[in-house]
Every structure is written in structure tokens, then in C-alpha cells.
């Protein structure tokens, strides 16, 4: 959306000031509004059709209103828990996911998930909002998780995710001294037939690319920063193990648990274009305590 176009949330409606709408030959201003919504604002065709069919588009003078915020109830049972909100507006939510918390229920256990905690956030506020997660993190990986707070944002952010336009940067402690010349791992990843929980580098797997930057080196470990260009399950863990540097604490892929009981992997930052304004949003997530303690131990062992 052009930054010159002003917008404001009014209850369940988004009010826009699109400027002068030029009607087609038949002079139909509503048709001009549809064209503007499709070509300028970039409303996804599926949502545009729904809004048009359900009376969700209104013209009043130079104002255009879209019914983008209908009340919606979360499918997840609210579970009150301390939740760190890293970013929020009418369209997007980014929260910190702690280690040991799943993004959403999977039927394997009954412990509260991030989805339950997010549901509780809006239940406590008495807001009928049911955010949808745009990406996932492993249960024992901490970091920021992006949510869409309405259908418009959900469709736009899903599109951005499929086009690899959502940037995710991670930090990890790995075994061994990583050669600084290791800057990219481009190896396909598939399922491990011999271990249900594992993935592995496989010629028949899906393409997977991880960019690597060595940040610090210790006596027998390294701190690396990583950028995902694809989002395969366990991608960083598989790629670093394949490179001979499994993550500390990651016993599934060969990492030692002597200093930390879970994989030493944290999502440091998340970047995405705002679904309405197009503005680039950068969200950082501070290291959890366990990562800071581990770094202190590794620095101490180096001296």
C-alpha cells in the first residue's frame, strides 16, 4: 500500500482514503473501488470476492471501508501464562516462544502450547481475535513467532512466506571449531526412515539452504549465526550436524548435553513487510538466560 494512503481501524471496519477513484467507462465508482483494492492495495482475490459477496465493501464519499475485523473465536482453549509480546498492531502479532513450548497442540500431550497462551492473551483482553501462526519453531527452540490477526493479514503473510520474503535469523552454539569458509549449506532434507523424529540430508529430499556466519570460536565449540532461505523441519539442526558441527544439547543429531539439556538454538530476529502498509518490520528477541549462561561457560573454558 502506498504510504500516502491513510487508514484507520473503526470497530470491525478498516477505513481507507484511496484518493480519487477513476471509474471505468460505465461510471461505476464501486467497480473503480474493486479495481483499486485489487491493483493498488493488493487485496488477495479470494478475500476480495468474499468481501464483495458479503457486503464487506462500503463507499461513502472519499472514504472506502472494508470489513476486515469480524469477531472470531480461537479454536484453542485459553491457558493463562506469562507471554512476551515483541510486536503488535491491528494486523500482526509477534510473541516470544520459550524453550519447551510447542507452537500448537499436536495430540501428543496436554501441556499448554503457544497457541493456548495467545488465546488467553485475547480472552483476558476480552477481544474476539483468533490469530493464526505464519511459521513454526521446534519445541526446544526459542524465538519470535509471527501471527496474523485477521484473514487479510493471514493471506498476505502466507504469500510472503511462500515467496521466502519473511526473514528469520538464528544464533546457535555448535560443537567444534567451525571454519569461517563455511558460509552456506545447500543440501536437500528428507525424512529418516529409521527414526520417526529425525530428518536427514537425502538426495530425494526437498531443497534446503542455510547461510552460516561464524561469530565466535571457543576451545571446542563455536557460536554461529544462521539465516534460513527455506523452512524444512529441523533444517538448522540437520545441516549443522551434516557439516560435522551438531548443536550443543541436541542429542537427536549428535550434540553433547554436558552443558545444556536442549539444542542451543534461538531465533534472534524476524523481518517482514507489513501486510497493509508494506513497511519493513524488524523484530528482535533477546537471548534466553540459558543461552547467556552457556556462552559464559564457553568463554570461561577458553581462558
Summarize pLDDT for 226-271 with one digit per residue, the tens.
999 998 999 999 999 999 999 999 999 999 999 999 999 999 999 9
Name the pLDDT band for 4 (thresholds 50, 70, 90).
low
Average pLDDT on 217-224 reads 97
- Which residues contact residue 40 at a Cβ distance below 8 angstroms, ignoring those fewer than 6 apart? 1, 2, 5, 18
- The pLDDT of residue 3 is above 50: no
For 263, what's the count of Cα atoms within 13 Å in the CB-facing half-sphere?
Answer: 29
Radius of gyration of the chain (CA): 23
Annotation says 138 is catalytic: yes
- What is the model's pLDDT at position 1? 46
Question: Cell for 252?
Answer: 537427536
Spatial separation of the C-alpha atoms in residues 273 and 11, rounded to whole Å: 24
Name the pLDDT band for 27 (thresholds 50, 70, 90).
low
Cα–Cα nearest to 101, from 293, 288, 294, 297: 288
Using a cut of 0.95, tell me whether the model's pTM lies above it.
no
Residue pair 241/145 in contact (Cβ under 8 Å)? The answer is no
- What is the model's pLDDT at position 303? 67
- What is the model's pLDDT at position 26? 67
Report the percentage of the chain scoring pLDDT > 70.
Answer: 96
Name the pLDDT band for 154 (thresholds 50, 70, 90).
very high
Q: One of 28, 62, 89, 138 is an active-site residue; which one? A: 138
Residue pair 52/34 in contact (Cβ under 8 Å)? The answer is yes
Amino acid at each position: 500500500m502506498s504510504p500516502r494512503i491513510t487508514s484507520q481501524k473503526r470497530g470491525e471496519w478498516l477505513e481507507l482514503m484511496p484518493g480519487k477513484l477513476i471509474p471505468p467507462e460505465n461510471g461505476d465508482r464501486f467497480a473503480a473501488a474493486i479495481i483499486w483494492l485489487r491493483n493498488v492495495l493488493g487485496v488477495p482475490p479470494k478475500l476480495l470476492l468474499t468481501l464483495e459477496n458479503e457486503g464487506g465493501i462500503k463507499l461513502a464519499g472519499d472514504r472506502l471501508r472494508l470489513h476486515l475485523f469480524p469477531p472470531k473465536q480461537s479454536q484453542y482453549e485459553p491457558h493463562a501464562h506469562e507471554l512476551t509480546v515483541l510486536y503488535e498492531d491491528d494486523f500482526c502479532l509477534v510473541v516470544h516462544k520459550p524453550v519447551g513450548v510447542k507452537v500448537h497442540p499436536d495430540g501428543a500431550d496436554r501441556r499448554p502450547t503457544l497457541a493456548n497462551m495467545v488465546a488467553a492473551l485475547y480472552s483476558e483482553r476480552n477481544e474476539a481475535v483468533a490469530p493464526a501462526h505464519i511459521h513454526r519453531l521446534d519445541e526446544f527452540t526459542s524465538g519470535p513467532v509471527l501471527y496474523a490477526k485477521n484473514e487479510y493479514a493471514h493471506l498476505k503473510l502466507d504469500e510472503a512466506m511462500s515467496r521466502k520474503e519473511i526473514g528469520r535469523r538464528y544464533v546457535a552454539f555448535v560443537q567444534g571449531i567451525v571454519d569461517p569458509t563455511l558460509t552456506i549449506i545447500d543440501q536437500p532434507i528428507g525424512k529418516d526412515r529409521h527414526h520417526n523424529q529425525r530428518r536427514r540430508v537425502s538426495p530425494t529430499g526437498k531443497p534446503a539452504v542455510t547461510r552460516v556466519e561464524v561469530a565466535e570460536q571457543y576451545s571446542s565449540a563455536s557460536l554461529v549465526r544462521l539465516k534460513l532461505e527455506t523452512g524444512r523441519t529441523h533444517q538448522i539442526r540437520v545441516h549443522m550436524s551434516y557439516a560435522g558441527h551438531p548443536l550443543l544439547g541436541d542429542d537427536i543429531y549428535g550434540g553433547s548435553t554436558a552443558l545444556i539439556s536442549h539444542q542451543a538454538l534461538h531465533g534472534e530476529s524476524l523481518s517482514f513487510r507489513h501486510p497493509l502498509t508494506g513497511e519493513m518490520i524488524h523484530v528482535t528477541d533477546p537471548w534466553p538466560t540459558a543461552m547467556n549462561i552457556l556462552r559464559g561457560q564457553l568463554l570461561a573454558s577458553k581462558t
